Amino acid sequence: MNFLFLDAYKDKPYRISKDTAGGYGTANDLGDGLIGKCLSQAIKRTVYWPNLSFIQLMEQLQLAGHNCRYRGVFEHTPINFIEDFDAVFICNSIVCFETEKEIAVKIAHSKKCPVFLCGTVFKHSENKPPEGVAILSGNYEFVDTDLFSNLDCLRDTLQKKQFHIDVPDQEKELVPIGWGKNGIPMSRNVFLGGTKLFIPYIFNRGCPYSCAEYCTYPTSQGRKVFSPSIDQCINTLKFYEKSFGKTHVVFRDPVFSINISKAKALLHAIAEADLNMEFSAELHLRNLDTEFIQLAREAKFRTFKFGIESAFEHIRSSVKRISVDNDEQLAKIQQLRKQKIKSVGMFILAQPADNFETCERTIDYACKLNLNIAQFSVFTPYPGTHFHSMIRDDITANSFEDYTQFKLVYKHQSLEPKTVRMLLEKSYKSFLTSKIFS
């Protein structure tokens, strides 16, 4: 079979990433002023890759003997190439939701081949799936590929009813992604001379943490944590080292340190393998201890990214965010700096219990933590999360594509959308100024 994996994007002056927020995606629209617009343009020229689950499904079908091709398109690209394919798979996100749906409908109405929307967003969108379009949700990269061996039978099913497959949590060995093959784009950071290759890799899937109240990783990947063996991970990393030479591997786990003992064992195995690679990961500060940080340094981890969210405990707890206290946050960031590991702190403005003053004080707090990078975003109640179900009547967004994570999409008790955009602009301006004059 010949399969097309179609990745449709809005044509915007900022980066749209469908691999963030558990596959819901984000759009780095960082502000309406000069600083925000310049940073948005700059980030658009940094590291990018497609949704990993989408690409992983493509690799699994390729392994099953099908011919697969990835193609990224913008919203106005004419859809006139489907006759060469037996089925079209379309990546489903929230940041390009309406665009993806429109393209799926156009292809399905052509009646030339089955169409699959791949992602969890449609499941929670309260939209009825378009006629002739199947929905693949959950950990769909683990779907039984035998399903796609008899397309005539599958086409008949799609013509009779809407078709939805929700793939549950499971542990299964996956083939390494062949970056640069079959149209899959490779990512190089132009600000580092465009020479260093960045490769994303998922070790842990799923997250049981209480911030599932608003976080989409548990919504898309489930609450159960599962991961391959350490040996399998090392073999994959060795495959990438052999294929591409010196690279930077970005662990795209929801929380790299969620199983602390296994994470330490993996760090030790990476150090023992002495790979010609550098690494970065997202984790939780409460899982960092002296041993972990030392092992990370020996394994050539260069950056850790973690959520701080707010300077105020009562604001964090209002959305069930569990975190270490502020003094411990500062101490752990200082430990990382001593081991020459860069720190990226993530902050969320306009949380439900926030007001103008608490947002300003969170910005000030971020500037005092001696972080290498601070990332500020706007609290977003995503469909499928508990918080969204509680405030469904207060949603103000006109389309799902407004859910960029940098716009206010719900009626806040004390903040207006224009005020939040101004605070977002101020946050980046303040942090950049603090770094320049530190």
Q: Give tens-digit pLDDT for 335-359.
A: 999 999 999 999 999 999 999 999 9
pLDDT value at residue 164 = 86
Mean pLDDT along residues 34-42: 94
Residues 139 and 253 both lie in one domain: no
pLDDT bucket at 165, cuts 50 / 70 / 90: confident
Q: Is residue 53 part of a domain?
A: yes
Q: Rounded CA gap, 207 and 205, in Å?
A: 7
Q: Give tens-digit pLDDT for 55-111.
A: 999 999 999 999 999 999 887 766 666 567 889 999 999 999 999 999 999 888 886
The 3-class SS string of 216-280 reads CHHHHHCCCCECCCHHHHHHHHHHHHHHHCCEEEEECCCCCCCCHHHHHHHHHHHHHHCCCEEEE
Q: Is residue 42 part of a domain?
A: no
pLDDT value at residue 333 = 96
pLDDT value at residue 160 = 63
Find the Cα–Cα–Cα–Cα dihedral 217, 219, 220, 224, rounded to 10°: 80
Phi-psi region of 103 (alpha: psi -120 to 50; beta: other; left: phi over 0): alpha
Residue type, 59: E
Q: At a CB cut-off of 8 Å and minimum separation 6, what does 95 contact?
A: 10, 16, 18, 24, 25, 26, 27, 400, 401, 403, 404
Give the number of C-alpha atoms closer than 13 A to the C-alpha of residue 273, restricted to the C-beta side: 23
Residues 31 and 143 both lie in one domain: yes
Q: Is residue 187 part of a domain?
A: no
Q: Rounded CA gap, 324 and 173, in Å?
A: 35
Q: Rounded CA gap, 352 and 409, in Å?
A: 12
Please give the DSSP secondary-structure letter assigned to residue 205. Answer: B
Token pair in block for residue 219:
């919504």
pLDDT bucket at 317, cuts 50 / 70 / 90: very high
Q: Give tens-digit pLDDT for 126-135.
A: 888 888 899 9
Q: Is residue 288 part of a domain?
A: yes
Residue type, 303: T
Cβ–Cβ < 8 Å for 420, 350? yes
Residues 266 and 360 both lie in one domain: yes
Alpha carbon 397 to its chain centroid, in Å, reads 21
Residues 355 and 288 both lie in one domain: yes
Between residues 75 and 138, the one the model is more confident about = 138
Helix (H) or strand (E) holding 376: strand 373-378
Nearest C-alpha neighbor of 129 from the set 181, 167, 166: 166
Domain C-terminal end among 122, 144, 179: 179
Q: Is residue 191 part of a domain?
A: no
Residues 247 and 169 both lie in one domain: no
Q: Is residue 391 part of a domain?
A: yes
Percent of the chain whose predicted confidence (pLDDT) is above 70: 95
Residues 251 and 368 both lie in one domain: yes
**What is the average pLDDT value for the chain, to the nearest integer?**
91
pLDDT value at residue 114 = 87
The CATH number of the domain holding residue 297 is 3.20.20.70
Residues 127 and 230 both lie in one domain: no
Domain that holds residue 158: 1-37+49-179
Alpha carbon 406 to its chain centroid, in Å, reads 15
Residues 170 and 237 both lie in one domain: no
pLDDT value at residue 129 = 83
Query: Which range among 26-40, 190-204, 413-427 shows the weakest confidence by mean pLDDT?
Result: 190-204
Residues 172 and 208 both lie in one domain: no
Number of separate domains in the chain: 2
Q: Is residue 234 part of a domain?
A: yes
pLDDT value at residue 188 = 76
Find the Cα–Cα–Cα–Cα dihedral 376, 381, 386, 388, rounded to 10°: 170
Cβ–Cβ < 8 Å for 277, 302? no
Residues 207 and 68 both lie in one domain: no
Residues 241 and 308 both lie in one domain: yes
The CATH number of the domain holding residue 57 is 3.40.50
Q: Give tens-digit pLDDT for 263-313.
A: 999 999 999 999 999 999 999 999 999 999 999 999 999 999 999 999 999
Residues 129 and 277 both lie in one domain: no
pLDDT bucket at 53, cuts 50 / 70 / 90: very high
Q: Give the DSSP per-residue string, 55-69.
A: HHHHHHHHHTT-EEE
